[in-house]
Every structure is written in structure tokens, then in C-alpha cells.
Structure 1
Amino acid sequence: MPTQPAKNIIEIGRRTFTQESAALIRLSELIDESFEKAVLAMKACSGRVVITGIGKSALIGNKIVATLNSTGTPAVFMHAAEAIHGDLGTVQKLDVVLCISNSGSTEEIRMLIPLIKRGGNVLIGLTGREDSPLGQQSDIRLNTHVEEEACPLNLTPTTSTTAQLVMGDALAIALLELRGFGPEDFAHYHPGGALGKKLYLRVGDISSKNKKPQVEADTPIKKVIVEISENMLGVAAVMDQDQIIGIITDGDVRRMLESHDNIAALRAADIMTAHPQSIDHNTLAVKALELIREKNISQVLVTKNGKYHGVVHIHNLINEGIV
């Protein structure tokens, strides 16, 4: 098989982007009352959204299922070929069915349509052919017609599957906004990984695992150094009974050693920074990261009900995958 000259490869990539993006702009003009009806039917559904398709459309369907589930709309995938060989039981009485097919006329889709209609389920057809069996027999039709594929042979599903994918995203986002789906809801559905931690991990969850270095204002410098070293957080809070009055970092200690030959007479109050930055224990850890970056510091003191609760270090945030 002959290969394309290297000078044409970049142009091929750019042409594909141009063709598909232009098709999406045209597709946006096809959004009409049918789209609104589909969204409202999915929102009103007390069961699940069952998405079905075959071939490349099945792959797109699986992605749309994942997006819906992660944004608060229960969804499940049913392969069209498997549906007519026993998996039709996936569809329950209260479910809405979203069937995806560019042609809307493949054999499996034609066989599946009357079976879904017989069950009384709302059938939403996402198709590029309005005059197809799927287009004609759906209760609600979503038009994803594209003029041509990005494939130069106009055969490989490319632009058409992009259109299906974006239509699925549009449905999911519309449902998300109608449900008032917020960051806390998103965290509920995404508890794992760095994304989940950014949405739910709070500074108190981290500081409670750390030691709690602290000294008094009149603590000798030697003991301050020991407190900072033993707790390995590079910092100690300076306390007056149960109130934070200052902070000493390992940087403060280094600067003190550079400027004083005799440290025996020095106390914590002599080198501390008064009124230090602090953050409430219930604040999201990602906000602590923002504060640390903004102030160009390595750690921040954590408070609970105005009292000293602990320390969060930049290394803690790195280890948790927040950075």
C-alpha cells in the first residue's frame, strides 16, 4: 500500500478537524423541539435510559451511557444484536430507550424497533436518516444527519459518529442542568482518583493524619528545632494556650542560624511570623493548594472551630494526587 508523502500528513489531520467541526456547526442548527422532548422524557423517566445500537454506534452508545451515569441520569447499554437474542429483558417497563443508528435501517435495528414498541417504552431514535425505519417509527427523533464522512471514501464512520457523540453530550448536559447537578453531586459519582479527591477531600482529612507540631512563645530555639525536625512537616505553630499566635518554618530556622552566632538566648517568639495563614478543616484540599501556591509557601496551618487542628504540607497534596 503506498504511503502519503510526509508533507501531506499534517494537512490530512487539519482537513479532518475542519470537516468534522463544520458538520457539528450544521448539526447544531438541527436542534429543535424534538431535542427538548427527548430531554424531558429522559428526565421524567422513573426507570433508566437504555441505550442500544450496533457497530460503531454501539461504541458511541457505551460512552453516552457512561456520561449519563456520571452526571446523575441512570443508564445502561444493551447491544442491539444481543437484544434480539435474549437481552431484551434489559428493558424494563419504566425505562426509556435511546436507539442509535446512522442509517436507521440495519437488520438488527429493524427487528428491535417493534419489540421495543410492543413493550410500550418511549423510543428515542438518534439517526442520520429521517426516512429510515428508526426515523419513522421512533416516538421522538433526534436528527444527526451529516453530508459526508471525513473518510475520503465517504465510507468509514467518522463525522457521523462524532455527531452521535456530541448529541449524546448535549443530552447529558441538558439533563445535568435541569437536575441542578452540582459539584457535590459530581463528587458523589466520582469518588475515586484525582478528580474525585479534588471534589470531596478536605484539609481536615489530611491534617488529622499528620502530627501536630507546636511550641509556646517562650520555648527555647533548640527545642523549637527539635519539634520541627521530629514532626517532619517543616513547621511548628506557636501557641498561647489554645490560640495560634505565630508560625515558625524550617526556613525561619535557617535564616536565624545565618544571622545569629549565639542562639542560646533566643525564644520562639523572637523568630516567629505572627498572624500566620490558616485554613479551616472543612475546606476542600484543592483550595489549600490554591492558597499554598498563591502565598508561595510549603504548608498551611489548619484550624477547627478557630482552634489549632494540624498542618497540611504541599507534599501531602502531591501524595493525594491533588497537584
Structure 2
Amino acid sequence: MNISNKITLTAKKVLQLEAEAIARLADFIDEGFEKCVETILTIKGRVVVTGIGKSANIAQKIVATLNSTGTPALFMHAADAIHGDLGMIQADDFVICISKSGNTPEIKVLVPLLKRKGSKLAAMVSSTDSYLAKCADFVLNANVEREACPHNLAPTTSTTAALALGDALAVSLLEARGFSSTDFAHLHPGGSLGKRMYLKVEDIYTQNEAPRVNANAPLKEIIIEISSKRLGATAVLSQDNEQLIGIITDGDLRRMLNKYDSIEGIIATDIMTPAPFTIDAAEYAVEALVVMQNKSITQLIVTNSGKFGGFVHLHDLLKEGLV
């Protein structure tokens, strides 16, 4: 067997072993798991997730997932806990301790101290007969038959299983809380997903110029307005400048040259596109993107209380990371 084939077989074997381990976890979701979730929902404090070694790395990721899905959480390294960090835990907190064996020296020192604090304790373990599991109020069974490591030593399958079980816990809490996509956006304001849920047209269109001409505006004025405002279009307002009646784009100017033998005397109403597509300033910016995509346009007139307000351009949405 050549080296390439061996690499492929090894990689597939690892993925298969870990997939099977995660699938087995479904059989361990029982009343104890339910009670654990229900208890976390009632606490006034936070969820503190702790572990040592690779389990500590998994604990940090679980904390990040909990925080981003509506469950306040923090990470405490099990080794640091017995050297001062234990002070971060309050009686109203809920502690999840991750340990494959549940019998490491640091865990055996830490558990009695946690119990003395009065916090509820959940053990995420592969061995349900371990010291940690026997001392815990709740056991989250993350049992795996073997590691993907050929020597059955390096934490591989066990850490993957713990991570997946942490996700199951976080999503169960999310659904039980009725945590919505809007709630998610509030916690992720800097990302594109968050912006899709909270960024509105009124937040961005005011940064642009608001090109406009009167219905009777001559061609020279139209061209100057479009060129100077650099949005590739201008709104056309009624003679009293109160009502939006059309739009003139760069494309309309090109079509005008093909349509008319003489451009002398042409005014805005001769070349405008009537009843242009618009979006209200109070709409979400992502809705403006949908309109632009569906209508194959790059700028959209913004209305405010039914009146012309300005323009939002595709480049604005690109800059905000919505595309």
C-alpha cells in the first residue's frame, strides 16, 4: 500500500470512528440530561465550565457556544481553580466539569471545593463509575469505546464526543428559552449574520448624497446632478418637489441617445422611468439587497414617510458585509 492510500484510509477511519461515537451519544440522552437542562434554566447565576488538558480546550468552546446562544457562561481551568480562580464561582452558579476518566488528581481536589461552594455540579464524563460522576448532581454521559488514536491514547474521539454533547446541551437550552434569530443578532452585532437581523436602510442611506431633479429639469441639469452625486442615478420629483414620480439612471441616458435624433429641449419626464422601485427607510437593509437582486439593479430609492429620502447603493451593502 502506498503512502497516499494509507493516509486516505486512516483519515476515513478516524472520521468513521468519531461519527459512530457521536451517534452513540443519542442513546445516553435520558431523564438526567433533561433535569440538567431544566436546572440550568432556573439558576440565577452562570454556567461555569471547567476541565484540564484537552478537556479544558473543549470547555472553552462550549462556553463560547453557550454565551452566543443566550446562556451566560464562563470558563475556569481546573488547575487554576485550586490556585485562586475558584473565587469566580458563586453559590448561584452551575458548574459543568469535563473529564474523560473523572479521576484525575486535579479533579479530585476540585470537586469537594465546588461542593462546599453550594453550586450544582454536572459531570461530563466517559466513565460513569468515576469519582467525578459519583460526586456530581447530574451526569452527562460522553462515553466512548476507544480513541481514534491507533494507540488509544491521544484524546480524539472523547473530545469530539464531549464537544458534540456540549452542543446538544446548548441547543436544548436555546430552544427551551425560546431564543430567536433576533436574540442571536443582538449578541452578534459585528458579524454579517447579525447585521442581516438588525441593520436597517436608515442606518446607511443617509451617508450618501440624495440626487434629485424637478420634473421639468433640462438635460444638462440632469447630467450634472447624476455626475456630481456619483450614484449613477437621480430621483425625479413632481413640479412642486413633493412627490416622487420617477428615476433617471445612466442607462436611461444611453437609451435616450438611441431614441432621439435631437436631444434639444428634452426634460426629465421625457426620459425618466416612472414608478421606480423603492424601499422604506425603516426596512432592514437585507431587504434592499433582495430587491436589488430580484430586479437586477444596483441602486434603490429610499422613501421616508412616503416621501423621497435618498438612495441606497449595492456598494453600501457590500461594505457592510451583507453580500
Gaps of 5+ in 2: none
Distance 1:10 1:273 in 2: 60
Amino acid of the residue matched to residue 246 of structure 2?
Answer: G
After TM superposition, give the deviation of residue 121 of structure 1 in Å: 0.8
Q: Name the residue aligned to 2:300.
A: 300
Distance 1:263 1:252 in 2: 13
Task: Show the 5 A alignment for 1:1-323.
Answer: 5-240=3-238, 241-323=241-323
4+ long deviations beyond 3 Å: none
Amino acid of the residue matched to residue 30 of structure 1?
Answer: F
After TM superposition, give the deviation of residue 25 of structure 1 in Å: 1.1
CA distance 1:248–1:103, shift in 2 (3 Å): same
- SS of corresponding position for 2:237: strand
Amino acid of the residue matched to residue 185 of structure 1?
Answer: D
After TM superposition, give the deviation of residue 47 of structure 1 in Å: 0.7
On the 8 A contact 1:220/1:264 being kept in 2, the answer is: no
**Of 29-38 and 56-65, the range deviating more from structure 2:** 29-38
After TM superposition, give the deviation of residue 4 of structure 1 in Å: 6.9
Amino acid of the residue matched to residue 181 of structure 1?
Answer: F
Report the number of matched residues: 321
Q: Residue deviations 1:61-102, cap 9 Å, x none?
A: 111111111111111111000111111111111101111111
Amino acid of the residue matched to residue 121 of structure 2?
Answer: L
**Of 91-100 and 302-311, the range deviating more from structure 2:** 302-311
- SS of corresponding position for 1:123: strand
Distance 1:198 1:11 in 2: 42
Q: Residue deviations 1:230-271, cap 9 Å, x none?
A: 111111111123222111111111222233342122221122
Gaps of 5+ in 1: none
Amino acid of the residue matched to residue 180 of structure 2?
Answer: G
Instruction: Supply the RMSD in Å over aligned alpha carbons.
Output: 1.5
After TM superposition, give the deviation of residue 296 of structure 1 in Å: 0.9
Distance 1:19 1:4 in 2: 23
After TM superposition, give the deviation of residue 195 of structure 1 in Å: 3.2
Question: Percent identity among equivalent residues?
Answer: 54
Q: TM-score, normalised by structure 1?
A: 0.95
Distance 2:270 2:108 in 1: 83
After TM superposition, give the deviation of residue 314 of structure 1 in Å: 0.6
- SS of corresponding position for 1:51: strand
Distance 2:157 2:45 in 1: 32
Amino acid of the residue matched to residue 41 of structure 1?
Answer: T
Q: Residue deviations 1:129-163, cap 9 Å, x none?
A: 10001111110100010111122222111111111
Distance 1:200 1:235 in 2: 27
